[in-house]
Amino acid sequence: MRFILLLFFWSLVGSTVAQTDSLENSKSTYLDSTEIKKICAKLQIPSNLEANNDLLNFITDWIGTPYCYGGETKKCTDCSGFTTNLYVTIFKKNIPRSSRDIFNHCLPIAKHALYEGDLVFFATSGGRTISHVGVYLWDGFFVHASTSQGVIISNLKQGYYRKTYVSGGAWLD
């Protein structure tokens, strides 16, 4: 009986320590609600006080970066270059370099079930062949590198993106 109680105790302690470690590892730069509201206003997106602060800062830093095919720096980037940089910096996950490869390694997610950090995929060349990727924020908004405007925030409800949207996806490690 003592053995079972000891196991139970250690499982509780271990679980608490693991949760604390996990929370500390996922902490982002703290922004107060006023600062979050300012950043969201600057980015022209609805305020989200529960947003990942590091994600907001990353987007602010990259917004307006010009588009260039094959680029992956703040000098110029394409959609998958931007997305891979965001994922490695914010989520510490290495993902493939092409939108199609990213799509092929994701768990599909319905549009209504998208969550901050999920990936959104588009067939911008017609059909259903994936040719564009972005990162979902909230309320239909997503960040991506547009061929015409560089790194911008768009909305899935906009005609072009509503028409070319294929799927959402969660990255599987």
The CA distance from 22 to 32, in Å, is 22
Residues 6+ apart with CB under 8 A from 83: 95, 99, 102, 119, 133, 134, 135, 144, 145
pLDDT at 141: 98
Q: What is the DSSP letter of 113?
A: G
Residues carrying an active site annotation: 79, 132, 144
The CA distance from 5 to 143, in Å, is 50
Among 87, 88, 63, smallest CA distance to 145 is for: 63
Domain 51-171: give its CATH code: 3.90.1720.10
What is the separation, in whole angstroms, between the first and last Cα of the chain?
A: 40
Kindly report the number of other CB atoms within 10 A of residue 65's CB atom: 20
Query: Given CA atoms 77, 99, 95, 30 in this order, what sign does their dihedral have?
Result: positive
Q: Where are the domains of the chain?
A: 51-171
Is the whole-model pTM more than 0.75?
Answer: yes
pLDDT string in tens for the chain (173-residue length): 443 433 333 443 343 333 333 334 444 556 788 999 999 999 999 999 999 999 999 999 999 999 999 999 999 999 999 999 999 999 999 999 999 999 999 999 999 999 999 999 999 998 889 999 999 999 999 999 999 999 999 999 999 999 999 999 999 88
Would you say how long the chain is, in residues?
173
The CA distance from 69 to 168, in Å, is 23
Is-contact 117 139, C-beta < 8 A? no
Is-contact 34 47, C-beta < 8 A? no
- CA distances from residue 88 to 8, 32, 56, 170, 171 in whole angstroms, order as listed: 37, 25, 15, 15, 12
